[in-house]
Amino acid sequence: MVRWLIALSVGLVGVSSMPAADEVVPQVVLGIHGGLGVDKKDMTPELDKQVRAGLTAALKAGQQRLQEGRPALDAVEAAIRVMEDDPQFNAGRGAVFTHERKNELDASVMDGLTKKAGAVAGVTTIKNPISAARAVMEKSKHVMLIGAGAEVFAKTQGLEIVDPSYFRTEYRWKAINDILEREAAEKNKRGDAGPLLPTVPEYFGTVGAVARDNHGNLAAGTSTGGMTNKAFGRIGDSPIIGAGTYADNAAAAISCTGHGEYFIRYSVSHEIVAQMKYKPTTAKVAAEDVINRQLKEAGGEGAAIVLDKQGNFTTAYNSEGLYRAWMTADGKIEVRIFEK
């Protein structure tokens, strides 16, 4: 039995000035993120405990697959499914609401060995969108399916279909109603007002995972409920291969979270891989350049977790914090939120 070393802070650790990144950690087999999370001022001891427990549970699920000798993609899917089922995260059951008060989910996966990829977007009844994304990759001729078509496909593949009410949580329901009330007040005050942008915690929620298996193959996946109060039909970077997700055995596996429009425009995950392959440079240097220079200069906020082909893991983020965790080959776990 592997003995776990779980780094759980008793209190919240102080935050240094941005930009921010973790040190490069060697011999990592699985890394995950749960989005940028709440502002530090809104983090309670109970929420801190729940988030860390959720991240740890996700790592353990992925670790079990790797211990069984299964491929990296299995570990990525297992870890993300745990976070999709956990209402603490903006993916699956904890998804935020759109302007029309719906939960619309997006997800993608990529295999670093074959460069195959799959994604779903704008789905409302698939319990675990990450599994649907994988099914698209493995059971269809396509890379992305959206909306009702993706849901029909998922049903034909035997994936669990739920009533849309399954995804509702009171916390997210209150968030959309609060922002719609403020929109109405602004409209009454000014005569006209477009959709209001939510606060950072609601704007940038996503979960993701990167893994390296016993054969050295890489995989990455990302899943999200999107943006609170997003307009009808809006799709962010999470289901876009090369933006929110990318994996290439020649370089690294990457999952991102943040302001999706910027991540799409800058092809963030692919840009990091391209720098590593063609400059060449390290995962840390490439991630820092893209997240804390290119995106920051453009006004985009977000983060990336990166696992390179040698098993070196790092993160880069230009926000106050990032829900993230990783596991090394000997089973040791590190969980961080605001602490560096």
| Residues that are catalytic | 206
DSSP letter at 199 equals: -
Q: What share of the chain is helix, strand, coil (3-state, %, to 5)?
A: 35, 20, 40
Give per-residue burial for 45-74: e unless 16+ CB within 10 Å, then b: eeebeebbebbbebbbbbbebbeeebbbbb
Give how far Cα 46 sits from Cα of 11, 34, 298, Å: 11, 17, 35
Cα separation, 274 vs 269, in Å, equals 9
- Upstream peptide bond of 198 is cis (omega within 30 degrees of 0): no
Number of residues that this document lists for the chain: 340
DSSP letter at 308 equals: E
Cα separation, 15 vs 77, in Å, equals 31
Please provide the DSSP assignment of 81-145 as one string: HHHHH-TTSSSGGGPPP-TTS---EEEEEEETTT--EEEEEEESSBS-HHHHHHHHHHHSS-SEE
Report angle CA 202, 327, 57 to the nearest 5 degrees. Answer: 55
Give how far Cα 63 sits from Cα of 76, 123, 217, 306, Å: 9, 28, 15, 17
- C-beta atoms surrounding 263 within 10 Å: 28
CA nearest neighbour of 116 among 73, 157, 69: 73
CA nearest neighbour of 326 among 28, 99, 119, 101: 28
